[in-house]
Amino acid sequence: MNRQWLYAKPPAGKIGKDTFQWTETAIPQPRAGEVLVRTRMLSLDPANRAWMMGKTYRDALEPGQVMSGFVIGEVVESKAPGFAPGDIVEGDWGWQDYAAMPARKLTKRTADAPLEMLIGPLSVTGLTAYFGLLEVGQPKPGDTVLVSAAAGAVGSMVGQIAKIAGCRVVGTAGGQDKCDWLVRELGFDAAVDYKAGGVFRALRAVCPDGIDVYFDNTGGPVLDAALGLMNLKGRIACCGNVSQYDVEKPAPGPMAVPGLIVTKRIRMEGFIVMDFYDRRAEAEARLARWIAEGRIKAMVDIVDGLERAPEALIGLFEGTNRGKRAVRV
Amino acid sequence: MNRQWLYAKPPAGKIGKDTFQWTETAIPQPRAGEVLVRTRMLSLDPANRAWMMGKTYRDALEPGQVMSGFVIGEVVESKAPGFAPGDIVEGDWGWQDYAAMPARKLTKRTADAPLEMLIGPLSVTGLTAYFGLLEVGQPKPGDTVLVSAAAGAVGSMVGQIAKIAGCRVVGTAGGQDKCDWLVRELGFDAAVDYKAGGVFRALRAVCPDGIDVYFDNTGGPVLDAALGLMNLKGRIACCGNVSQYDVEKPAPGPMAVPGLIVTKRIRMEGFIVMDFYDRRAEAEARLARWIAEGRIKAMVDIVDGLERAPEALIGLFEGTNRGKRAVRV
């Protein structure tokens, strides 16, 4: 039996349980060139919500299809060279127990690392933080780096990588508890609770030398505040716009664009982690070493059971997670 | 006698004649290290208006000071080594007949080129177009380049440089006459009248392959439309925000920021021409050659008489100019 969550219908405003529909179907048979995979760990990402809004860097989700998502799984049966039962693989086969995947859409992973690491810190999440910060943000030692959604999967990695790079690191997160955790546990120099209001003043107080690099996961009010505090020739690595994904009516765009972009000569640049996959091995090796050395605490927030995937994704937008949220199947 | 226009008071909304105040005072005496210069040609730029709005890349204008502006003039008397009467120099001494300028704030220019060229095409205007397009925009042959305010000083140069660089060039301008002129006289491939409405549709029709580089002089609706039409990895060179300088209430920011910046991996980057002045000689030599060869038509729109400077600047925001507007004194 193959349990599946379908994407049922576009949400009107926030996603809810009726955005998804549970179904059970037969386990597919792999054809020549395909591999039957079994889901072990399912990644939940804010981007899952963005895919419901229209075409992005991938086609929009269509109602009735299996809900999309990045997965770590195990090969059950292979009709493709190079894959054998028991291999650990990753791919985008979504919210279901089994899938017959074309071999070219799978990537083999080492079985050395725990699945909790392969689903995030040593995969999409960690690589997004690594390339987005270092290649797009171009931090220099001594720079002040701001990261939004800093207690989230990507943000928590960004802050710790920026510390390794010799920067002063400030994060924003929702709630004082998360902010305290960022400073005490993850080594951030300061953290600001964006839900407490007055984000611009609060950030200005903890960024006395301005901001050199802003790693933007959220857009919205934190982006507005950051633009006002950016230094000359500052860099904004645009990774996500999560404040605007799960809302009925998007907020207006940032008033400081393009005015302050010009006068402060800011570079604002978007990226998608897949653009950097030719250098994936290098980044994974460094991330693995930093995690092994304890220089990065790779936070993983595991929810058990495929049936709980919808509530786990809904919770992402309520900020119930710390670090990388994934569903163990 | 030294005739001067003072910056009288901040405009409430659009600038008007009461933004400035005429005065006559004694010709200053240069001290040691200073040079007495006489204004020959006064540059009028949208940035003059932006300086009234607050601190930018320079301090805000203060009511009561001589109105600022870039000038080409002639040395009358020198108390500094390296400058002699009759030398042609440039500097930012503003809207007045004479000034005693510190020598370090002056740049000597060749007397070979006509003043009309030195005030714009072979100075700030031309260099802004050259470095902004080629260094920030990074066009490749075959790219589609869009430039806003294309009939203006910078825009008209950008479009012609982009043609030399092997690109397909589209401009926006106010009114069908200017659009026809861009295509017939300056060699643009297409031009869109932004005042006719429906800018997005009109641009989409003339950019069937999307936009690779957008040289943004205006912000506002053309920026909104361009963001929607940018190709993956497109570049937006942020040069100005002229649609928002001379208004009472600025328009909301672009809704597509940061959403489309992320999904299309757009780079949006501001610049100020002075950042590139270490390479000024190279750029001036190329611009001079292209102008001499007829590959660039350097359009200059001369208004005679210092007394007409306010109306000439006001006219810039009404779009009465074609190419570089300057006041001959």
Contact across the interface for A262 and B250, Cβ inside 8 Å = no
Give the whole-angstrom CA distance, residue B236 versus residue B266.
7
A205 in reach of chain B (CB within 8 A):
no
Nearest residue in B to A267, CA atom? B269
Q: Running DSSP on this structure, what letter comes out for residue A319?
A: T
Pick the CATH number of A2-116+300-328 from 1.20.1250.20, 3.40.1390.10, 3.50.50.60, 3.90.180.10: 3.90.180.10
- Between A33-42, A79-88, B102-111, B302-311, the lowest mean confidence (pLDDT) is in B102-111
pLDDT of residue B263: 93
A3 in reach of chain B (CB within 8 A):
no
Contacts of B318 (CB under 8 A, 6+ apart): none
A274 in reach of chain B (CB within 8 A):
no
Q: Select from B119, B129, B191, B135 the least CA-distant residue to B154.
A: B129
pLDDT of residue A319: 92
pLDDT of residue A112: 82
Q: Span B264-279, mean pLDDT? A: 96
Contacts of A289 (CB under 8 A, 6+ apart): none
B262 in reach of chain A (CB within 8 A):
yes
Closest in B57, B262, B267 to A267, CB measured: B267
Report chain B residues whose CB lies below 8 A from the CB of A210. none
Mutation target to probe the A interface, by most A beta carbons within 10 A, among B246, B260, B263 is B263
Q: Select from A88, A127, A80, A96 the least CA-distant residue to A26.
A: A96
Q: How confident is the model at residue B57 (pLDDT cuts 50, 70, 90)?
A: confident
Give the whole-angstrom CA distance, residue A270 versus residue A36.
35
ipTM value of the model?
Answer: 0.92
- CA separation, residue B266 to residues A239, A300, B77, B297 (Å): 11, 31, 51, 31
CA distance A261 to chain B (A): 5
Would the CA dihedral through A215, A216, A217, A218 be positive or negative?
A: positive
In the stretch 206-225 of chain A, residues with CB closer than 8 A to chain B read: 216, 219, 223
pLDDT of residue A95: 98
Q: How confident is the model at residue A248 (pLDDT cuts 50, 70, 90)?
A: confident
Average pLDDT, rounded, for chain B: 96
Give the whole-angstrom CA distance, residue B193 versus residue B172.
6
* A119 CB burial (10 A radius; 0-12, 13-18, 19+): buried
Enumerate helices (H) and strands (E) in chain B, giving the number of each.
10, 15
Give the whole-angstrom CA distance, residue B272 versus residue B51.
14
pLDDT of residue B248: 86
Report chain B residues whose CB lies below 8 A from the CB of A149. none
CATH of domain B2-120+298-328: 3.90.180.10
B269 in reach of chain A (CB within 8 A):
yes
Q: How confident is the model at residue A154 (pLDDT cuts 50, 70, 90)?
A: very high
pLDDT digits (tens, 9 = 90+) for A157-193: 999 999 999 999 999 999 999 999 999 999 999 999 9
Contacts of A232 (CB under 8 A, 6+ apart): A264, A265
Q: Which residues pair with A41 in a beta bridge?
A: A72, A328
Report chain B residues whose CB lies below 8 A from the CB of A256. 253
**Ramachandran class of B283: left when φ > 0, alpha when ψ lies in -120 to 50, beta otherwise:** alpha
pLDDT of residue B250: 86
pLDDT of residue A57: 85
Closest in A57, A260, A267 to B269, CB measured: A267
Would the CA dihedral through B77, B83, B87, B89 be positive or negative?
A: negative
Q: Span A9-16, mean pLDDT? A: 93
Domain coordinates in residue numbering, chain B: 2-120+298-328, 124-274
A267 in reach of chain B (CB within 8 A):
yes
Nearest residue in B to A254, CA atom? B253
Contact across the interface for B239 and A253, Cβ inside 8 Å = no
pLDDT of residue B225: 98
* Architecture of the domain defined by B124-274: 3-Layer(aba) Sandwich (3.40)
B27-30, long-range: CB < 8 A, 24+ apart: B27/B1, B27/B2, B27/B97, B27/B98, B28/B2, B28/B98, B28/B99, B28/B100, B29/B100, B30/B77, B30/B78, B30/B79, B30/B80, B30/B100, B30/B101
Q: Span B29-51, mean pLDDT? A: 96
Determine the Cα angle at A193 with ends A189 and A194, to 5°: 120
- Is the model's pLDDT at A267 over the cut of 80? yes
Contact across the interface for A265 and B259, Cβ inside 8 Å = no
pLDDT of residue A233: 98
Write out the H or E segment, with its range, that includes residue B298.
none
Give the whole-angstrom CA distance, residue B92 versus residue B88.
14
Nearest residue in A to B222, CA atom? A258
Contact across the interface for A268 and B265, Cβ inside 8 Å = no
By the 8 A CB rule, do A262 and B241 touch?
yes
Report chain B residues whose CB lies below 8 A from the CB of A51. none
- Is the model's pLDDT at B56 over the cut of 90? no
- Is the model's pLDDT at A111 over the cut of 80? no
A230 in reach of chain B (CB within 8 A):
no
Closest in A50, A216, A253 to B254, CB measured: A253
pLDDT of residue B166: 98
* A3 CB burial (10 A radius; 0-12, 13-18, 19+): middle
Q: Which residues pair with B323 in a beta bridge?
A: B152
CA distance A79 to chain B (A): 35
